[in-house]
């Protein structure tokens, strides 16, 4: 990037939750957490008209923080102004899920939001713009965006499952009492929902000499196949229950991780999880936005190929694919 731009889109009625993510995210970006300590950034922030004054307050704070990397802030309620020239679009805005509400309940509200955002991005973003959808239902919002922005290459439209990936790393590190930075190569397969499959079949922990398999170290298959999976799958709901609000700081931090690795590359022999357009790898139906293990290099992600999938995993991969296929059908029915 000569100068990375970022668009933080926020639309919908109840805006406090996306605003929390946006408010956590912008200082991280301005400090270089997302694009590195040498990359100047311009931030484009979008909100709805009733929030214009508050958004301007965020702009004032960004100026007051005197971030050396921050080369400009556009705070606007005009979607075209927000989208114009952006290199990276982080879509945190949507109609948020409330305690006790199923993700499907928010589908129709989000379909219409993402359809219109797609048009604005397609027409006004910079060529090669990379898009990360954070707002739920993230996979299907990303799919709708892809459908309505056909000139944006499908490789450039992704959704956030790095949050789930990081949660899985966190759970393993807590269980084994090891540094989270020493755990790697967990996988989140599928949907950013409670059907996701957090898989440790290939995960390792750094040891004094080389690496050890998580499965060997935990040695409690029942926990790995039961409580561990359920905890990661239900973590979003547990945070909502505890905070009475969705996760915000962990979502923002994971969004930075997602973009940083996509743009700057994944570390050697390490993969991460990203929701990407399925090409049919691992017999996942093509045409879904599905979370896979990926490595990134030169600004492009590639699905890690050739991993063994046992019978237990196969069922889990298929179950979350099935949910995504249903979500896709539901989303399309909201379009008509």
- The residues that are catalytic are 192
The mark string for 90-109 relative to ligand LMR (x by CB under 6 A, - otherwise) is -------x------------
Six-digit token pair at 328? 């896709």
- Phi and psi dihedrals of 32, rounded to 5? 95, 10
Taking CA atoms, 255 is separated from 28, 50, 52, 260, in Å, by: 10, 26, 24, 8
- Return d(Cα 48, Cα 10) in angstroms, integer: 7
- Single out the residue of 28, 126, 218, 239 in contact with ligand LMR (rule: CB under 6 A): 239
Residue 174 CB, nearest distance to ligand LMR (Å)? 18
Residue nearest to ligand LMR (CB): 236
Six-digit token pair at 184? 């790697």
169 part of the interface to ligand LMR, by CB under 6 A? no
- Single out the residue of 87, 117, 161, 246 in contact with ligand LMR (rule: CB under 6 A): 246
The mark string for 134-163 relative to ligand LMR (x by CB under 6 A, - otherwise) is --x--------------------------x
- Single out the residue of 93, 236, 275, 293 in contact with ligand LMR (rule: CB under 6 A): 236
- Return d(Cα 133, Cα 127) in angstroms, integer: 18
316 part of the interface to ligand LMR, by CB under 6 A? no
245 part of the interface to ligand LMR, by CB under 6 A? no
247 part of the interface to ligand LMR, by CB under 6 A? yes
Residue 97 CB, nearest distance to ligand LMR (Å)? 4
- The rounded radius of gyration (Å) of the Cα atoms in the chain is 19
Q: Is the dihedral of CA 217, 223, 224, 228 positive or negative?
A: negative
- Using CB under 6 A as the binding criterion, the count of chain residues that bind ligand LMR stands at 7
- Go through the chain and tell me how many residues it has: 336
Residue 247 CB, nearest distance to ligand LMR (Å)? 4
- Return d(Cα 272, Cα 266) in angstroms, integer: 8
Token pair 């359809």: residue: 115
DSSP for 160-191, written as a single string: --HHHHHHHHHHHHHHHT--GGGEE--EEEB-
Q: Catalog residues that contact ligand LMR under the rule CB under 6 A.
A: 97, 136, 163, 236, 239, 246-247
């Amino acid at each position: 990037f000569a100068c990375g731009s970022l668009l933080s889109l926020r639309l919908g009625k109840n805006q406090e939750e996306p605003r929390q993510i946006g408010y956590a995210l912008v200082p991280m970006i301005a400090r270089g957490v997302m694009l590195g300590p040498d990359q100047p950034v311009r931030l484009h922030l979008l909100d709805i008209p009733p929030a214009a004054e508050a958004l301007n307050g965020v702009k004032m704070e960004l100026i007051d923080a005197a971030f050396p990397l921050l080369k400009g802030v556009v705070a606007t309620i005009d979607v075209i102004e927000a989208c114009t020239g952006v290199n990276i679009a982080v879509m945190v805005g949507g109609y948020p899920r409330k305690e006790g509400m199923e993700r499907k309940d928010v589908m129709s509200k989000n379909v219409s939001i993402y359809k219109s955002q797609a048009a604005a991005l397609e027409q006004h973003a910079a060529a090669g713009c990379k898009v990360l959808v954070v707002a739920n239902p993230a996979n299907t919002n990303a799919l709708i965006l892809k459908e309505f922005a056909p000139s944006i290459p499908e490789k450039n439209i992704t959704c956030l499952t790095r949050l789930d990936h990081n949660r899985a790393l966190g759970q393993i590190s807590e269980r084994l009492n090891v540094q989270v930075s020493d755990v790697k190569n967990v996988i989140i397969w599928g949907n950013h929902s409670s059907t996701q499959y957090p898989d440790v079949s290939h995960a390792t922990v750094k040891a004094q000499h080389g690496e050890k398999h998580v499965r060997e170290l935990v040695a409690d298959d029942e926990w790995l196949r039961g409580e561990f999976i359920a905890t990661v799958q239900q973590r979003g709901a547990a945070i909502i229950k505890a905070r009475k609000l969705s996760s915000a700081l962990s979502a923002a931090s994971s969004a930075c991780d997602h973009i940083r690795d996509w743009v700057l590359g994944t570390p050697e022999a390490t993969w991460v999880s990203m929701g990407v357009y399925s090409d049919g790898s691992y017999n996942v139906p093509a045409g879904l936005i599905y979370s896979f293990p990926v490595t990134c290099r030169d600004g492009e992600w590639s699905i890690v190929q050739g991993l063994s999938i046992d019978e237990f995993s196969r069922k889990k991969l298929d179950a979350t694919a099935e949910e995504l296929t249903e979500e896709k059908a539901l989303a399309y029915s909201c379009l008509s």
